[in-house]
Chains A and B, each alone.
Chain A
Amino acid sequence: MSARTAADIAVGEDLLHVDDISLSFGGVKAIQNISFNIVKGEIRAIIGPNGAGKTSMLNVINGFYHPQEGTITFLGEERRKMRPYRAASQGISRTFQNVALFTGMSTLDNIMAGRSLKMHRNFFWQMFRYGPALNEEIEHRRAVEEIIDFLEIEHIRKTPVGQLPYGLQKRVELGRALAAEPSLLLLDEPMAGMNLEEKEDMSRFVIDVNQQFGTTIALIEHDMGVVMDLADRIVVMDYGKKIADGMPKDVQSDQNVIDAYLGVAH
């Protein structure tokens, strides 16, 4: 069991670090020997051209993919691989590149779903929806309503999410991830396919989450402008390798990064 919780870690200390991660599918090497850290309280961005292995990296962090080599250290505990359930229960939650909402359920239920791990009432009480089970339901409803207020999605509370426009779906997905009250929030291209206005809204939410709740965030994003404004530190990946790591302004001027984006022959 983990010796520490997120609260034991001071702002500025390592919340998570990955060492020497390599991941391959058959013969395809998706990630090669990558190491970096995420410190508590920061917004960390992972960028890189298409196919650089960014999403695979997030999948490794929350245990959906299991790397062949390397270790993941979260809350001071070193592991060969993460399990999705452990990752979630220790406070890593995420959004997805292609919205992965529960399309058959309403906004409210989707965000309630995000609190699954915090609800414990057993089957017996659930059967009768009475006593502890009902109290629990209502208590979590209150927490969910706060998130709904925060994200300004009150009007779509009871709409099935399948019927929502893309921008709102992304917002609901963020709400669902927030509902778990994560210590580390992974955002996979939260602004993909949005227009300028929606991007601005989303950026504001990301910053608010980081500042109001103190949530550590790791995000993948393509829009350089957004990344440079939002991120405290940036990891740059290309062809499964890390080619740069540092402050936005350092990364921006790194020759390797410029080559990767402009497509210089390797």
Chain B
Amino acid sequence: MFYREAGQYKTSYKADQAIFPIFQDRMAIVFYLLVAFVAIPYFGSDFFITSMMIPFLIFSLAAIGLNILVGYTGQISLGTGAFMGVGAYACYKMTSIFPDVNIIILIISSGIFSAAVGMIFGLPSLRIKGFYLVVTTLAAQFFLEWCFIRVPWLYNYNDSGAIEVPQREALGVIVTGASATPTTRYLIVLAIVVAMTWVASNIIHGRIGRSWMMIRDMDIAAELMGIRPLYAKLSAFAVSSFYCGVAGAMMVFFWLGAAEVESFDVNHSFLILFMVVIGGLGSLVGSFLGAAFIWILPVILRAIPDTIGLDINAATVEHINFMIIGGLIIFFLIVEPHGLARLWALAKQKLRVWPFPY
């Protein structure tokens, strides 16, 4: 009843071309932001912030990155984990070399390195399509993983081959390292994710985003309409890898605190792909929903047997979790290929016409 667009007339194309043309949607965004920026830091427990919100936001950003490639441009990639790694290692090297530069600037600029690497491995996409691309992105994944192990310069010749986050301050507040408070880290991650989501949304709704979708929907027609596949595909690879790189850098600097190569292995590529598929291909909201779902599901699954007093061991829960995720992937692909995002849209649609069925 309250979610109605009736009576909201657009008097300019500018208003109609806005990203959220409906008033209530704009209000909802403001509400979510208030919850995220004010309520959660104020009420959330440390565990909730560090183990749920921070990873959720970071994975959402990575999912947005992958969604740009898979959902918007139609190029499948299994190299997400490695691209995240490039961002993380780049950031680590930069802060070792320039310890005085603000770490947040370095986090953002580490995306440039992953974007460059992403473009190199995106080059084959000009000649090959579909799951042939899976192999080239797997090549990126395994080759980069090997580099993270075999190039000791990348981890400053650390004995155990791990990168350990040094303590850094920004504006006089400790933001990285074990002494940084969860709330500080959360707020920085949140600010970066919100800003980058806004930018992603702008790009997608503009000329460049349209050229990606043209390539996705009908690459030949797009080419005949003057879209150069080289530009469109490589820009998608670059932007996508940029997002993944920043997500990877944040993962190490604001969440894990230390990382080995296994934090960027192929399983992460799968995990992020699942978030995109379950959340909804070609949807930013879906990226958040998918990340929330995949990340929070196991936590809830673990809590259920406890709450109802069943004694199921941790391993069994983990196995069941795998089965459920696998099953859900198939379920969503069969029943709702547009993922949670579509369910979300349907719910909004129902709300719009409530109390009438349609």
Direct touch of chains A and B (CB < 8 A):
yes
Known contacts A96-B221, A100-B220, A138-B17: A105-B213 contact under CB 8 Å:
yes
The segment from A23-31, A123-131, A227-235 that touches chain B is A123-131
Give Cα A114–Cα B222 distance, bound, in whole angstroms: 9
Give Cα A141–Cα B199 distance, bound, in whole angstroms: 21
Contacting pair A104 B206 (CB below 8 A): no
Known contacts A93-B225, A103-B217, A105-B213: A126-B208 contact under CB 8 Å:
yes
B211 and chain A: residue at smallest CB distance: A116
Contacting pair B224 A84 (CB below 8 A): yes
Chain B residues with Cβ below 8 Å from A94 are: 224
Chain B residues with Cβ below 8 Å from A112 are: 210
Chain B residues with Cβ below 8 Å from A176 are: 225
Kindly provide the distance from the CB of A155 to the nearest chain B CB, expressed in whole angstroms: 15
Kindly provide the distance from the CB of A135 to the nearest chain B CB, expressed in whole angstroms: 9
Contacting pair A129 B206 (CB below 8 A): yes
- A-contact 0/1 string along B16-48, CB 8 Å cutoff: 110100000000000000000000000000000
Specify which of B16, B206, B213, B225 lies most central, judged by the most chain A CB atoms within 10 Å of its CB: B225
Contacting pair A116 B217 (CB below 8 A): no
Known contacts A113-B214, A129-B206: A100-B221 contact under CB 8 Å:
yes
Kindly provide the distance from the CB of A66 to the nearest chain B CB, expressed in whole angstroms: 13
Which of A100, A117, A133 contacts B218, CB < 8 Å? A100
Which of B199, B220, B222 contacts A128, CB < 8 Å? B199
Give Cα A63–Cα B210 distance, bound, in whole angstroms: 22
- A-contact 0/1 string along B298-309, CB 8 Å cutoff: 000000000000
Specify which of B16, B205, B210, B282 lies most central, judged by the most chain A CB atoms within 10 Å of its CB: B210
Specify which of A104, A137, A176 lies most central, judged by the most chain B CB atoms within 10 Å of its CB: A104
Specify which of A127, A128, A176 lies most central, judged by the most chain B CB atoms within 10 Å of its CB: A127
Is A101 located at the chain interface by the 8 A CB criterion? Answer: yes
Contacting pair A104 B282 (CB below 8 A): yes
Is A88 located at the chain interface by the 8 A CB criterion? Answer: yes
Interface range on chain B (Cβ under 8 Å from partner): 20 to 34
Is B349 located at the chain interface by the 8 A CB criterion? Answer: no
Which of A104, A119, A129 contacts B217, CB < 8 Å? A104
Contacting pair A104 B224 (CB below 8 A): no
Interface residue tally for chain A (C-beta within 8 Å): 40
Number of A-B contacts (CB under 8 A): 103
Known contacts A87-B224, A88-B224, A127-B199: A102-B218 contact under CB 8 Å:
yes
Give Cα A89–Cα B224 distance, bound, in whole angstroms: 10
Known contacts A102-B217, A138-B17, A141-B13: A88-B226 contact under CB 8 Å:
yes
Is A239 located at the chain interface by the 8 A CB criterion? Answer: no
Which of A64, A104, A119 contacts B220, CB < 8 Å? A64
Contacting pair A123 B225 (CB below 8 A): no
Is A142 located at the chain interface by the 8 A CB criterion? Answer: yes
Chain A residues with Cβ below 8 Å from B12 are: 138
Chain A residues with Cβ below 8 Å from B210 are: 105, 109, 112-113, 116
Is B228 located at the chain interface by the 8 A CB criterion? Answer: yes
Which of B13, B211, B213, B227 contacts A145, CB < 8 Å? B13
Give Cα A94–Cα B224 distance, bound, in whole angstroms: 8
Kindly identify, within residues 197 to 236 of chain B, every residue whose CB is under 8 Å from any CB belonging to chain A.
199, 202-203, 205-208, 210-211, 213-214, 216-218, 220-228, 235
Known contacts A128-B199, A137-B17: A119-B225 contact under CB 8 Å:
no
Chain A residues with Cβ below 8 Å from B228 are: 85
Give Cα A117–Cα B218 distance, bound, in whole angstroms: 17
Chain B residues with Cβ below 8 Å from A101 are: 217-218, 221
Give Cα A109–Cα B205 distance, bound, in whole angstroms: 9
Give Cα A264–Cα B202 distance, bound, in whole angstroms: 60
A105 and chain B: residue at smallest CB distance: B213
8 smallest beta-carbon distances between A and B, as pairs: A88-B226, A129-B202, A102-B217, A100-B221, A117-B226, A119-B207, A141-B13, A126-B206
Other contacts beyond A64-B220, A129-B206: 5, CB < 8 A: A102-B217, A116-B214, A121-B206, A133-B207, A134-B17
Which A residues have a C-beta under 8 Å from some C-beta of B? 62-64, 84-85, 87-89, 93-94, 96, 100-105, 109, 112-114, 116-117, 119, 121, 123, 126-129, 133-134, 136-138, 141-142, 145, 176, 180
Show 5 residue pairs from A and B whose CB-CB distance is below 8 angstroms, ordered by the A residue: A88-B224, A113-B211, A113-B213, A123-B208, A180-B225
